[in-house]
Chain A
């Protein structure tokens, strides 16, 4: 049982309400605590909302941003659309992989960063682009990408 998992779940259900249509905002709020959703949290949400755990799991697993494996404090999502690729997305990925010492899809051992790919994030005219948590970084070069990371080190 995750430390305090029941508390964030209760808080989320209290904030949004128990009826089914509030499931997504509740999942989003709980996820923001530790940047991912744990098995216990999903079970607690199901209990609070009188839903089955399987049902909640089915919903959470649908959405790409509802990671259910432990993630770092900062999630980097690099756009892999063709236009970002054309502008040099692969070299950005390479630079970040080298700086953090991990491969695409992994989390750093100190749990500071996770590196993921994402589909079009809506900055195609200023690619390559990436998100770190909710913040957008565009017109990236290898240097700018690594510099952006330093904010979070």
Chain B
């Protein structure tokens, strides 16, 4: 339907006549006229709520003010966005919210980025007119990943909508009514005791400091200051295209080499790269897939297909709760973060002559669920806790600001060896479809000896923000060893956001899954849209970060995981072979059945 087919409506906004397409909300119509009506409960990722009442406007002929986010334009509507009535009511709404909110701005994690604070600032609210209503609730720190402080909640329900619509987890809900109405969990249990997957989408959609990640910045500073500790830092693929936003840069800037320098300046002893273990994951997982396909197609044995990726810990906890009968479909590979930890405390520690007990491994992640992953009981393959602390992109931003680092002016730096070299395949892990693409680039070549037939290695069918993507790859000209795959059509699916994961799993549960290999990322957009990423995260910003990730890939010399020389070395020196004894000890894991609901 072209723009010409859309019916145009004539309205008047603040005295200006304008033509707006039918079904446009007053909020969007005002934007077209360069008028920004303030909002709080509105978020472009989520369905319309219309409950905060901040975005109210006056509509001539209407007895009440209308929520501009929820009201479509109508013919001859006369709208006033800033009349006296609107300003008075809006100021009251903000004052009411402040009276319900424990205003602790100076000490709050969202000081400077809080949307309520910004509104209060705009309306110059400097004194509490109304009575203080906030309840001195206990802060929920039961989860190692997410912190919930009800005393700061303004009940906009963005977290509930994110948890329900985007993620289909529904761990958060609105309960009770009247003055008792609150955002809570099943039976008001602490987050650690419900089906929360720690994905952090609630955190990135929360306008205030009510939901934040558990903060470990002070612990990391302590480790850095401790002269007896050798502190290793690993950086996830998504960080290099996002950390810039935390230090005043536009979204989608590739700042990999400045990132490395900054980390050295902060005082980390070894600056290494999760992209390395991303490449490693591809080798292990690629061979695991081929192993399963061999069993199924050549040996005609019973084996769990489709195989599903396992690097997203939010996804892992989700499937452990909701589809616990199908854990055998998960790849047994650990995530790159968790492959890194044991290798750092065994292989790397030995190489650089550091006692593993004196090594602290810190990871910088776009993710909140990784904080939970790091403390899973089985993540102690090195004999010690494999990953000691996980910091989000936001927490790293905090450290950079605290250290007074003028990030944009830094010179370029290079990662350390030997867990520091990576290929473009490792970098694209940050985007939805990236793990799949990286795996295909390697698996295809392992099976056929030839490069995957896509121009410039752009496996476009698996790229983009569509919720569930499908692709099929015909395998032709296999090596003798793999002749049972000759002519086979490898069918793959990619899902991002747990609501899409649910769709894929429901199909699998019913026995109708047509795929061999599935990539699932818990967060919309993949890791670049993760729960630990700079706020805000919108589709526009997701796209910018995604474009940067694929740019990073194309600008790299090596683009396939199996070409990584440090990967070749680690197998020669240490691991022996993919899926070998050492790999199983350090790089593979098991899963746990959890309660549904």
Of the A-B pairs whose beta carbons lie under 8 Å apart in the complex, a sample of 23, sorted by A's number, is A39-B187, A42-B186, A47-B597, A51-B170, A52-B170, A52-B171, A52-B173, A52-B186, A53-B187, A53-B195, A53-B597, A54-B170, A54-B171, A54-B172, A54-B184, A54-B195, A55-B170, A55-B173, A56-B186, A57-B175, A57-B186, A57-B187, A61-B175
> A93 vs B177: C-alpha distance in the bound complex, in angstroms?
25
Minimum C-beta distance from B248 to chain A (A)? 38
Which A residue sits closest to B194, measured CB to CB?
A54
Which B residue sits closest to A39, measured CB to CB?
B187
Does A121 touch B at the CB level, under 8 Å?
no
Does B596 touch A at the CB level, under 8 Å?
yes
Question: Which residues of chain B in 161-186 are interfacial with respect to chain A, using CB atoms and an 8 Å cutoff?
Answer: 164, 169-177, 184-186
- Inter-chain pairs besides A46-B597, A52-B171, A52-B597, 6 sampled, C-beta below 8 Å: A47-B597, A52-B164, A53-B195, A54-B173, A55-B164, A57-B186
The listed residue with most B CB atoms (<10 A of its CB), out of A42, A43, A51, A58, is: A58
Minimum C-beta distance from B211 to chain A (A)? 15
Residues of A contacting B173 in the complex (Cβ-Cβ under 8 angstroms): 52, 54-55, 57-58
Minimum C-beta distance from B182 to chain A (A)? 10
**A85-105 interface bits toward B, Cβ cutoff 8 Å, 1 = contact, 0 = none:** 000000000000000000000
Residues of A contacting B176 in the complex (Cβ-Cβ under 8 angstroms): 61-62
Specify the main secondary structure of chain A where it touches its partner: helix
> A62 vs B173: C-alpha distance in the bound complex, in angstroms?
11
Q: Do the beta carbons of B187 and A42 come within 8 Å of each other?
A: yes
Which B residue sits closest to A56, measured CB to CB?
B186
> A69 vs B476: C-alpha distance in the bound complex, in angstroms?
65
Minimum C-beta distance from B194 to chain A (A)? 7
Residues of A contacting B174 in the complex (Cβ-Cβ under 8 angstroms): 58
Minimum C-beta distance from A80 to chain B (A)? 15
> A52 vs B177: C-alpha distance in the bound complex, in angstroms?
19
Minimum C-beta distance from B593 to chain A (A)? 15
Minimum C-beta distance from A46 to chain B (A)? 5
Q: Do the beta carbons of A58 and B175 come within 8 Å of each other?
A: yes
> A34 vs B597: C-alpha distance in the bound complex, in angstroms?
23
Contact of A47 among B169, B177, B194, B596 (CB under 8 A): B596
> A53 vs B186: C-alpha distance in the bound complex, in angstroms?
6
Q: B residues engaging A (CB < 8 A)?
A: 164, 169-177, 184-187, 194-195, 596-597
> A153 vs B530: C-alpha distance in the bound complex, in angstroms?
60
> A31 vs B252: C-alpha distance in the bound complex, in angstroms?
54
Residues of A contacting B171 in the complex (Cβ-Cβ under 8 angstroms): 52, 54
Residues of B contacting A62 in the complex (Cβ-Cβ under 8 angstroms): 175-177
> A39 vs B186: C-alpha distance in the bound complex, in angstroms?
9
Residues of A contacting B175 in the complex (Cβ-Cβ under 8 angstroms): 57-58, 61-62
Which A residue sits closest to B596, measured CB to CB?
A47
> A56 vs B173: C-alpha distance in the bound complex, in angstroms?
9
Minimum C-beta distance from B376 to chain A (A)? 23
Residues of A contacting B186 in the complex (Cβ-Cβ under 8 angstroms): 42-43, 52-54, 56-57
Q: Do the beta carbons of B169 and A52 come within 8 Å of each other?
A: yes
Minimum C-beta distance from A2 to chain B (A)? 14
Residues of B contacting A42 in the complex (Cβ-Cβ under 8 angstroms): 186-187
Minimum C-beta distance from B140 to chain A (A)? 14
Minimum C-beta distance from B398 to chain A (A)? 31
> A61 vs B176: C-alpha distance in the bound complex, in angstroms?
5
Residues of A contacting B195 in the complex (Cβ-Cβ under 8 angstroms): 52-54
Residues of A contacting B597 in the complex (Cβ-Cβ under 8 angstroms): 43, 46-47, 52-53
Q: A61-B176, A62-B177 are in contact. Are A54 and B596 (CB under 8 A)?
A: no
Question: Which residues of chain A in 1-51 are interfacial with respect to chain B, using CB atoms and an 8 Å cutoff?
Answer: 39, 42-43, 46-47, 51
Minimum C-beta distance from A17 to chain B (A)? 20
Residues of B contacting A55 in the complex (Cβ-Cβ under 8 angstroms): 164, 170, 173
Which A residue sits closest to B182, measured CB to CB?
A61
Residues of B contacting A56 in the complex (Cβ-Cβ under 8 angstroms): 186
> A35 vs B597: C-alpha distance in the bound complex, in angstroms?
24
> A56 vs B176: C-alpha distance in the bound complex, in angstroms?
12
Minimum C-beta distance from B174 to chain A (A)? 5
For the complex of A and B, the 5 pairs showing the least CB-CB separation, nearest first, are A52-B170, A58-B173, A54-B173, A53-B186, A53-B597
Which B residue sits closest to A63, measured CB to CB?
B177
> A43 vs B597: C-alpha distance in the bound complex, in angstroms?
7
> A53 vs B188: C-alpha distance in the bound complex, in angstroms?
11
